[in-house]
Amino acid sequence: MAGEKLYEGKAKIIYTTDDPAVLLTYFKDDATAFNAQKRGQIADKGKINCAISTYLFQRLESAGIATHWLETVSDREMRVKALSIIPLEVVVRNVAAGSLCRQTGLPLGQVLLPPLVEFYYKNDDMGDPLLTPDRMRVMNVATDEQIATLRRQAEQINHILTKFFASCAITLVDFKLEFGLDHQQTIVLGDEISPDTCRLWDQATEDETQRVMDKDRFRQDLGQVEQAYQRVLERVMAQSPQH
SS3 letters across the chain: CCCCEEEECCCEEEEECCCCCEEEEEECCEEEECCCCEEEECCCHHHHHHHHHHHHHHHHHHCCCCECEEEEEECCEEEEECCEECCEEEEEEEECCHHHHHHHCCCCCCEEEEEEEEEEECCHHHCCCECCHHHHHHHCCCCHHHHHHHHHHHHHHHHHHHHHHHHCCEEEEEEEECEEECCCCCEEECCCCCCCCEEEEECCCCCCCCCECCCHHHHCCCCCHHHHHHHHHHHHHHCCCCC
Residues 207-236 interacting with ligand 5GP (rule: CB under 6 A): 215
Residue 185 beta carbon to ligand 5GP: minimum distance, rounded to whole angstroms: 25
Which residues from 54-73 bind ligand 5GP, rule CB under 6 A?
Answer: none
One of 17, 41, 58, 99 touching ligand 5GP (CB under 6 A): 99
Q: Is 91 in the site for ligand 5GP (CB under 6 A)?
A: yes
Which among 70-78, 92-100, 136-144, 180-188 is the span making contact with ligand 5GP, rule CB under 6 A?
A: 92-100
Residue of 54, 94, 158, 197 that binds ligand 5GP (CB under 6 A): 197
Diameter over CA atoms, the chain: 50
The region of 41-49, 95-103, 150-158, 221-229 touching ligand 5GP under the rule CB under 6 A is 95-103
**Binding status of residue 12 toward ligand 5GP by CB under 6 A:** no
Torsion (CA) 193, 50, 123, 153 in degrees, nearest 10: -30
Asked whether position 131 contacts ligand 5GP by CB under 6 A, the answer is no
Q: Shortest approach of ligand 5GP to residue 71 CB, angstroms? A: 23
User: Of the ranges 23-31, 97-105, 153-161, 202-210, which one interacts with ligand 5GP (CB under 6 A)?
Assistant: 97-105
Rule CB under 6 A: which of 177-196 touch ligand 5GP?
A: 196
- Report the alpha-carbon distance of residue 243 to residue 240 in Å, rounded: 6
Identify residues 139-178 at the interface with ligand 5GP (CB under 6 A): 174-176
Q: Which residue is nearest to ligand 5GP (CB)?
A: 98
One residue of 2, 47, 85, 98 binding ligand 5GP per CB under 6 A = 98
Q: Up-side HSE of residue 215: CA atoms within 13 Å toward CB?
A: 26
Of residues 162 and 197, the one with the C-beta less far from ligand 5GP = 197
Question: What residues line the site for ligand 5GP (CB under 6 A)?
Answer: 89, 91, 97-100, 128, 174-176, 196-199, 215
